[in-house]
Amino acid sequence: MNYEIKGEPFPVVVCNLEANQSVKCQKGAMAWMSPNMDMKTQSGGLGKMFGKALTGESLFENVYTAEGGNGMIAFTTGVPGKILAVELKDGDTIIAQKRSFLASDTTVEMATAVQKKLGAGFLGGEGFIMQKFSGHGQLFLEIDGSMIEYTLEAGQVMLVDTGSLAAMEGTVQMDVESVKGGLGNKLVGGEGFFNTKLTGPGKIWLQTMPVSQLAEAIKPFIPTGR
């Protein structure tokens, strides 16, 4: 798929499709398109609908196909941030935060990823249920705020603050580690009790402004009702 990502802080990915080529997206992600793009809405079956409900995605997804010639379609994010483009090959797996799916080739499969370690799910801040993407083709994910990419070597560890993990390759292991220092550090240090522990090998993508933090940041400026 030929594509271009442009625009900040609300980015858009513009996809140019060949005749009869299809792309699927999260409900409401389409911003504009050429008139020959045909849309069909699908669920993918009861099992996939249940998985989408667990990960916070819409139960249905839209599939757009270029009919009668080349087509163009653009997808936008819902909050200020970045769009992460990953090309999956057979055998590749990407684990991402809930509600991160934007769009992909129809050959990319999305499923639920359950954290095997209870501590990582309940205390790591990323959630017990995440999204897993596999198959082959182009994948586009929403990132909150700015995006930083690291490649971890085998056994290399990165400690990440709650909510800052956007996505990682399936080879990366996730766990939790208690914040160092005494109880005072944990209570008044502002960093909480636990950090997310990521162990390589594999790539990780971190985000600087999780949507939950963005909501807290703007809350004082929202007028309250009388």
Contacts 24+ apart (CB under 8 A), 115-120: 115/174, 117/174, 117/175, 117/176, 119/175, 119/176, 119/194, 120/174, 120/175, 120/176, 120/196, 120/197
Report the chain's mean pLDDT, rounded to a whole number.
Answer: 84
pLDDT score at 38? 97
pLDDT score at 128? 65
Span 153-196, pLDDT tens digits: 999 999 998 789 999 999 999 988 887 655 444 444 445 568 88
Residue 124 clears pLDDT 90, i.e. is over it: no
Span 10-61, pLDDT tens digits: 999 999 999 999 999 998 899 999 999 999 998 755 455 545 455 445 667 8
pLDDT score at 186? 45
**Cα–Cα dist 26/58, whole Å:** 7
pLDDT score at 188? 47
- State the average pLDDT over residues 113-119: 64
Q: Give strand pairing partners of 211.
A: none
Residue 225 clears pLDDT 90, i.e. is over it: no
pLDDT score at 44? 55
Q: Give strand pairing partners of 2.
A: 16
Span 66-84, pLDDT tens digits: 999 999 999 999 889 999 9
| CATH class of the domain whose range is 2-219 | alpha beta
pLDDT score at 210? 82
